[in-house]
Structure 1
Amino acid sequence: MFNSFGNILRLTSFGESHGKGIGGVIDGFPAGIRIDMDFVQAELNRRRPGQSLITTARKEGDKVEFLSGIFEGKSTGCPIGFIVWNENQHSNDYDNMKEVYRPSHADYTYKVKYGIRDYRGGGRSSARETISRVVAGALAKQALRQLGVHITAYTSQVGPIRLEENYTAYDLDLIETNPVRCPDPVKAKEMEELIFKIKGQGDTIGGVVTCVIKGCPIGLGQPVFGKLQAALASGMLSINAAKAFEYGDGFKGLKQKGSEQNDVFFNNCGRIETKTNHSGGIQGGISNGQDIFFRVAFKPVATVLMEQHTVNLDGVDTTLKARGRHDPCVLPRAVPIVEAMAAMTILDFYLIDRTTQL
């Protein structure tokens, strides 16, 4: 059950980094949605490895193969099964990690919990599992388009380099014009240079992805245990290397007084709106029709290509120098994953809202 995400719209994923492939089954997807296969593949291409000098050198085509639930280009309402075959595993790169626990990885906790672990790339704890999320998110995005909902994420911070302004100050059409996926070309260049420098040192760096959801219907979410922001946080914090989540003004708002942060209502040609959006489009756990925006902090990748102290399976002190192909910074490839989790969450809550109103 813990390999599944969602309520009515539900993704169950399977597969390991160095297994045969990664796949999933999507239940509850609405029938009659026209599926653009090229769009799904384009989303996977944004996530795949080897797309620039600042990502892992692993070469994978990441071509998705749909097995069920789509007929004549439309969803049938039946379970949508799919798989992406692994093609470029270098499992021998992990032979020196077989008998030791990698610092800040899931090795130790997996071994204690299950009594066994897949040391080749981390098995289920590998970020390669997020392929399934991106496929499901690409389908969810296409369903949300019919509702006028659009989701955009971008890199807003790498290490100490950050965008200082709100998302409204940037041209989000520029996100895909650079390998960092940052809408500020100057900052993007600085971020790229920092990542490349860190990569040359065999080290890693973290940062922040910002996400904006435009056109979200009013009323999604429940007031107590089904708060929309809690569901978004749950989805985001399930992503590998995610460490923190904040929406609206978040911690920044702690510096303001209530009179400064309150979003005052006004009548905009017959539509009730707010003059500001400190709440981030969610009030009382329910969407209010304004833009939903949030930030997800990602830690530096745990695999560093330098010698570190650790212990072996018997608890004896030793050292480890990792080998293999790893991202020096997850941010560029995390952008489409954040969008995918947001899309699945919003579509799921839209379907929940429809059932509660019957």
Structure 2
Amino acid sequence: MTAGRPRAGRPDLGEVRAGLPEELGSAVDSFERHLAAERGLSVHTVRGYVADVVSLLSRVAEVAGDAGLRGLDLSVLREWLSAQHSAGVSRSTLARRTASARAFTAWAFKAGLLPADPGPRLAVPSRPRRLPPVLRADQAGEAMSASASGAEQGDPVALRDHAVVEVLYATGVRVAELCGLDIGDVDRERRVLRVIGKGDKERVVPFGLPADAALDRWLHSGRPKLLRESSNTALFLGVRGGRLDPRAVRRTVHDAVGAVGGAPDLGPHGLRHSAATHLLEGGADLRSVQELLGHATLATTQLYTHVTVERLKAIHDRTHPRS
């Protein structure tokens, strides 16, 4: 598929946005600035919210007429979601779009653009709780070893890639958090990272000796060979000397995990899931894992307890004489 083109049968977001009445288009622009500047959401998240709101407001423009944004009420919200449900949109997507709509109506009410907020009365479709695929501890070790063997010749990109997978698995940081790290965020003496997470929240995450050794080789033998400007403070660099792109991280993880026979196909978030699962299996408490991963609520971290229970059940089924 050619980059930048909408999928067949789907309206072009830019065209739909440009076609909104001036009042609605201005509301979208202000909401987008609010998400990026005040809530500190990632570019990807902001794009998703805006796409959902543009879809909603295009429907408002159709049914509300001259009422404009003040025609956005509970009936319009329900009709908008119902139409998508009838079109076969998945439950998880409906849940996301409901969340986007509720965030928009809450903001619009506070901004004085709506006389009341209909969002809280909009039911949120429940998302199916699917257990994330994870590596076994031995598979994670094999993936790290495969990456280390690729770095044995001292190629700077291979050294970087090995440090990337070691740090991801050791810390469970998100890919955006990893790419945003600067050299000054690494405390080698204490073996901790200073991570800026969602909502610009800062946390400190420890890492072990294997990750420290991989970082040492990258910083002393790899990074200087890719560095183009001495003022660049990024911890991980791309082949052109700029800050490492998340897409390159995803390729790196896929390559490392793909070298392990029988391992599930995982990206960086899969290593995050694996790190959380292995911490809990090793005896870490939920609160500690929540803090390490930067989860806003304990409920998110509790998902990993289901993973470990499922593994225990599988072991029981295979090994217990009365399973």
Q: TM-score, normalised by structure 1?
A: 0.23
TM-score by length of 2: 0.25
- Larger Rg, first or second structure (1 or 2): 2
Considering Cα pairs closer than 8 Å and 6+ residues apart, tell me whether 1 or 2 has the greater RCO: 1
Q: Which structure is higher in strand share? A: 1
